[in-house]
Amino acid sequence: MIFVNGQNIRRETNKVQRSIGYCPQTDTVITHFTGRENLVYFLILRGYSKNSAEILAEAIARKHGFYSHIDKRVNVYSGGNKRKLCLAIALLGDAPILALDEPTSGVDPGSRRYMFSLITEASRGKTTLLTTHHLEDCEAICTRALIMANGKFKCIGSLQHLKTKFAAGYFIIIKLEANKQGNPPTDTQLKSLKDYMFENFADPPLVEELLFSLTYRVSNKDTPWSKAFSVMENAEKSFPIEDISIEQCGLDEVFLKVAGKKKQL
C-alpha cells in the first residue's frame, strides 16, 4: 500500500493529487491558450476564485520571467518559456509535495539559475523530487541525490557524502599572468612551474592546458587540502601566477565513477 502525505493513493486519489505539484518532462500546457489563460485555468482548478486567479496570474508570470509573453498563445512560446510556464503551474497552490521532471531543460543558462532560486524557495518545508540529466541542477537545488544507471539505483546520500566517497580529490586551477606585452609566460617559466607541481603533488595529471591557465587533478588521498593551499601560496611568490583556485570534484565525477563509465578518476 502506498501513502502520500498520509493519504492512501488508491482510496483517496483526489486528495493525493491535490497534495502534489507536478512538472512533467514533456510540456503539457494547453497550447491554444495564452499564458494568462493557462494560469487562470489551473488556479481555478486549485480552488481560487476567477477574480483572484486573474490577479495572481500576472504576479506569477512576472515572478517566473515570462510576463512579456503572458498574452501570447503558448504554441508560439520558446521551449524555455514553456518550461517556465510548466514550473509556474507546478508551484500553484503551495502543494506539500513537488515532483519536477527535467524542469530546466531547454532553458538558457541565465534563466536556469533564476529557476534554481524559484525552486529552492518553493521547496522550503516541502518534499521535492527532482529528476534531471543536468548535474548542475542537483548541485544548486538538492540536499540529497540518488544516481541511477542502466535502470538500477547505484547510490544515495548527501552531495558531500557522495563526493567524498566516489570522487576523492580536487582540482587546482592556475591562472597565469601575462607579461608587459600581454604574452603568456615563456616555455622556461612554464617548465619550472610544471616541475614544481610534479615535485609537490607526486605527478598530478595535467587535465587541461590553455594559453593562460593550467588545470591539475590531485587524486592522491595523502595530499590534504591544507598542503595544497600552502604549496600554491608559495608558488605565487616564485612564478608568474595571477590567480589560483582549488575546487572539489563535482557530481559529474561521481556519476562517471558510479555508472562505470570511468575506470579511474
Q: What's the pLDDT score for residue 261?
A: 59
Matching fold, domains 3-142 and 169-248: no
Q: What's the pLDDT score for residue 165?
A: 85
pTM above 0.85? no
Mind listing the pLDDT tens digit of every residue in the chain (265 residues)? 788 888 898 899 988 888 899 999 888 899 999 999 999 999 999 889 999 999 999 999 999 999 999 999 999 999 999 999 999 999 998 889 999 999 998 888 888 899 999 999 999 989 999 999 888 889 889 999 999 888 888 899 999 899 888 877 888 999 998 888 888 888 898 999 999 998 888 777 888 888 889 999 888 777 788 888 999 999 998 899 999 999 888 888 888 888 775 544 3
Q: What's the pLDDT score for residue 175?
A: 93
Q: What's the pLDDT score for residue 163?
A: 86
Biggest alpha carbon distance in the chain? Answer: 76
Q: Give the CATH number of domain 3-142.
A: 3.40.50.300
Q: What's the pLDDT score for residue 98?
A: 94
Burial class of 4 by CB neighbour count within 10 A (0 to 12, 13 to 18, 19+): middle
Distance (Å, whole) CA 35 – CA 58 = 10
Q: What's the pLDDT score for residue 4?
A: 86
Domain map (residue ranges) of the chain: 3-142, 169-248
In CATH, the architecture of 169-248 is: 2-Layer Sandwich (3.30)
Distance (Å, whole) CA 115 – CA 118 = 5
Q: What's the pLDDT score for residue 264?
A: 43
Distance (Å, whole) CA 259 – CA 53 = 46
Distance (Å, whole) CA 155 – CA 206 = 29
- In 3D space, the residue among 166, 172, 262, 179 whose CA is nearest the CA of residue 217 turns out to be 172
